Structure 1
Amino acid sequence: MGKSIINLNGITVSYNEIGKGSPIVLLHGFCGSNGYWDNVITKLSEHYRVIALDLPGHGESANLEGPVTIEDIADHIKDVLDYLNVPQVTMFGHSLGGYITLAFAEKFSQLVNGLSLIHSTAYPDSEEAKKGREAGVEKVKKEGISVFIDGLIPKLFSPDNIEKNQNDITTAKEIGYTTSSQGVMKTLIAMKNRPDRNSVLEKAEIPVLLIAGEKDQIIPSDKTFSVSKSNIKPVLIKDSGHMSMYENPTELINKMIEFMSTVK
């Protein structure tokens, strides 16, 4: 248990595993790593087997070969879970991790007993957002990863929290710098090309938790709360931007544990 690195199908995969009980998988956001979950994983591990992965090209995990889609990453996670002997899972996806969670639930619905989008959305990119992804690729090519990360990370936090979360912003930047340039560029294109997956939420019969930040500048709450059903619980975290695991971790942990009590 703890931080591990494995070689799976010739690809290096890094993850943090802690605790016993029903399995939870935590998928971090774009330019993050399993370190994004450091504030929540210990508490969750008191009750559950928690697996926090480094996504391909992020943290200490290697890139997948060739052009990459969100579906490719979902397939890769399935391989990792097979290796770890996880037959069924509750999946929590932050931002990019939410896009992957939806793709995973669509492809492997029998393996998922609950899912959560944290500061994420089932909607595809708007045309404007797609252009932004392409501009991001060009920025990384021309200016490198550090300049890209320095521009990205502060926007993830609520403007009201910039001062009090300076240490967390520094931590998130340091995590971001570990993302490979290829990982950033491949993931930007994967996000740009992802389809609308609101149908996954509409068809879901398992418990679903949708978490939005009251002051999220990246994904507003109406984009997160896209489907209303009796099995879907919307939660708005006050005083939080796109990074509640740093901005309001206690509230996030409470909502995750509360949600787990509804998962069978």
Structure 2
Amino acid sequence: MKKVTLSSGTTIAYEEAGNGQPIVLLHGFCGSHQYWDEVLPLLSSHGHIIAPDLRGHGASSATEGVYSMELLADELVDLLDELDLPMVNLFGHSLGGYVALAFAEKYPERLLTLGLVHSTSFPDSEAAQANRLKAVEAIKQDGINTFVEGLIPKLFVPNSSESRQELLRKAIEIGYSTSPLGAIGCSLGMRERPDRGAVLEQLQAPILLLAGERDEVIPPEKRFPVAKINVTAVTIEGVAHMGMLENPQEFAAAVGTFLERNRGE
């Protein structure tokens, strides 16, 4: 685990693996770089992987306030500058996908490829916006641990198998490391994010849209908002919102195939 303090004052922790073309993996809400533990060794042969903890998550620092997707994208740019990485393959899971879209809008020249993993370019619906405020109140009232324990099971395919229980325990433990300020800041930031369908329409770089067949967070109608020649759409069967943990082999194969097909573009 390495750490860098950015010009914003945020200290960002990150994990690295492999060599070659840079591949940045952004985790989801109440996650950390540990979401990628299973796929990291499977993807490290494809390039130099950087898996940061977003502000307020994992071992990165937190401050009070709204964490807009643009703010998190700017901090990612600062991190890449610190690491002397002018262009990257950027993959974002859920919240990480929203950050990746903000990055693509502001810094398209720095993208080799873009991947949205269990994510969407659509903004929050009115009901989802209301739920973000409920999340903020729940975190303030009951604490981050109780919030995470309620959130995480909704992200996996429901069954009573021991393997699922083990995945739940791992994801919940990761969630415990989220700062309450970080969870609140990101809830408010996700609530105000705009529709970024036009970003996908206009982006010239290769795009991967990866969805889980049984994802109840990102419904089918929001998984593949664009269809054009530079877009690859993949659905992993039998997984919900956490494909990197539920089926890391198939997840890594989809990402690896996409990277090899678009290497050097």
TM (normalized to structure 2)?
0.96
Residue 136 of structure 1 pairs with residue 149 of structure 2:
no
Give the residue type in structure 2 aligned to 1:89.
Answer: V
After TM superposition, list the pairs within 5 Å mapping 1:21-32 onto structure 2.
21-32=20-31
Report the alpha carbon displacement of residue 217 of structure 1 after superposing the two structures with TM. Answer: 1.0
After TM superposition, list the pairs within 5 Å mapping 1:74-223 onto structure 2.
74-160=73-159, 163-223=162-222
Spell out, residue by residue over 1:98-128, the C-alpha distance to the aligned partner (whole angstroms, 9 max, x if none). Answer: 0000000110000001000000000000000
Helix, strand or coil at the partner of 2:38 = helix
The answer to whether the 8 Å contact 2:26/2:97 transfers is yes
2:185 & 2:221 partners in 1: Cα distance? 28
The answer to whether the 8 Å contact 1:33/1:54 transfers is yes
Give the residue type in structure 1 aligned to 2:228.
Answer: K
2:223 & 2:101 partners in 1: Cα distance? 12
1:25–1:170 CA distance, 2 compared to 1 (3 A): same
Give the residue type in structure 1 aligned to 2:135.
Answer: G
1:164–1:228 CA distance, 2 compared to 1 (3 A): same
Unaligned stretches of 5+ residues in structure 1: none
1:8 is matched with: 6
1:160–1:38 CA distance, 2 compared to 1 (3 A): same
Report the alpha carbon displacement of residue 48 of structure 1 after superposing the two structures with TM. Answer: 0.4
2:161 & 2:6 partners in 1: Cα distance? 39
The answer to whether the 8 Å contact 1:161/1:247 transfers is no
1:94 & 1:100 partners in 2: Cα distance? 9
2:160 & 2:258 partners in 1: Cα distance? 26
Helix, strand or coil at the partner of 1:217 = coil
Spell out, residue by residue over 1:36-93, the C-alpha distance to the aligned partner (whole angstroms, 9 max, x if none). Answer: 0000111211230000010000000012564321101000000000000101001000
1:226 is matched with: 225
1:62 is matched with: 61
The answer to whether the 8 Å contact 1:13/1:61 transfers is yes
The answer to whether the 8 Å contact 1:90/1:114 transfers is yes
1:185 & 1:64 partners in 2: Cα distance? 10
1:137 & 1:67 partners in 2: Cα distance? 11
Helix, strand or coil at the partner of 2:137 = helix
TM (normalized to structure 1)?
0.96
Helix, strand or coil at the partner of 1:68 = coil
1:137 & 1:153 partners in 2: Cα distance? 16
Give the residue type in structure 2 aligned to 1:18.
Answer: A
Helix, strand or coil at the partner of 1:159 = coil
Unaligned stretches of 5+ residues in structure 2: none
Residue 33 of structure 1 pairs with residue 10 of structure 2:
no
Q: Alignment length, in residue pairs?
A: 262
1:35 & 1:161 partners in 2: Cα distance? 23
Helix, strand or coil at the partner of 2:14 = strand
Report the alpha carbon displacement of residue 162 of structure 1 after superposing the two structures with TM. Answer: 6.0
The answer to whether the 8 Å contact 2:46/2:259 transfers is no
